[in-house]
Amino acid sequence: MNVLITGHSRGLGEALADIYLGRGDGVFGVSRTPLQREHGSLTQVSADLCATATIDAALKLLFTTRDGPDLVFLNAGILGPIAALNDTDVATLQRIMDVNVWANKLILDWLVQRPRRPQQIIAISSGASVSGNFGWGPYAMSKASLNMLIRLYAHELPDTHLTALAPGLIDTDMQSQIRTVSAVEFPSLQRLHDAQGSESMPPAQVAAEQICQCLEALKTLPSGDFIDLRKQFPIP
């Protein structure tokens, strides 16, 4: 099986890459920095998903034959500033939308054109896409847009199963960034600060395993749905 993973160099994407490399699958990664692995089944390209005009060329470098990916994780994402929306300029919003939404739109367009389309696409969303907490402006709006992007592309990829998946809290660089921001100013952060080291914020390897374990079950739900992993598949 060929697995395309965006944002495979760190965090959740790196953990997903390791799982599929360990299973003997072909892993195709797109990040700005390469994953430091010597593995014959790993093919990677350095690309900045902010530079949306270069995405098509990067994908062509990654897949040089008619074979495309069977499974896709649209995982790359950036948090942007935690700040009041009225303190956030439009250029910042645009940069976050480029990585979290428009890069994924372009990858989906490329997948629509492939002679052989993937069986499953997982876009990594967030609970922030629906919670609307103070301070989460650019990230929340981008993930809400991602949810709708996936719902809409489900019509255009009728033979592929798509899910916008909120994975729950994961102890990655993104959470380290969140821990630098005061929960006094942004109260919703307190729960995240407190979750470090607890079962509710597992390391990326554990979170990636949880995601992989629910992939078949996700296919029984309507294509295009937003699914919160913690609610749909609670850990017993």
Ligand X SMILES: NC(=O)c1ccc[n+]([C@@H]2O[C@H](COP(=O)([O-])OP(=O)(O)OC[C@H]3O[C@@H](n4cnc5c(N)ncnc54)[C@H](OP(=O)(O)O)[C@@H]3O)[C@@H](O)[C@H]2O)c1
**Binding residues for ligand X, per CB under 6 A?**
7-13, 31-33, 48-50, 75-78, 99, 124, 126, 167, 169-170, 172-175
As a whole number of Å, the CA-based R_g of the chain is 17
Minimum CB distance to ligand X smaller for 2 or for 126 = 126
Shortest Å distance, C-beta 115 to ligand X: 26
**Shortest Å, Cβ 98 to ligand X:** 8
The token pair at 230 is: 């913690």
Closer to ligand X at the Cβ: 44 or 223?
A: 44
Contact 35, 19 (CB under 8 A): no
Which residues, at least 6 apart from 127, have a Cβ–Cβ distance to it below 8 Å?
A: 166, 168, 228, 230
The residues, any chain, with a CB within 8 Å of residue 181's CB and separated by 6 or more, are: 82, 135, 189
Query: Pairing relation of β-strands 2-6 and 26-31?
Result: parallel
Name which of 75 and 120 has its Cβ closer to ligand X.
Answer: 75
224 touches 158 (CB < 8 A):
no
Residue 167's CB is within 10 A of a number of other CB atoms, namely 22
Least gap, CB of 124 to ligand X (angstroms): 4
Q: Which is nearer to ligand X, 32 or 116 (CB)?
A: 32
**Cβ proximity to ligand X, 87 vs 173, nearer residue:** 173
What does the alpha-carbon distance between residue 41 and residue 19 come to, in Å, rounded to a whole number?
A: 12
User: Given the complex with ligand X, which of 155 and 213 has the nearer CB atom?
Assistant: 213
Helix (H, G, I), strand (E, B) or coil at 5: strand
What type of residue sits at position 104?
N
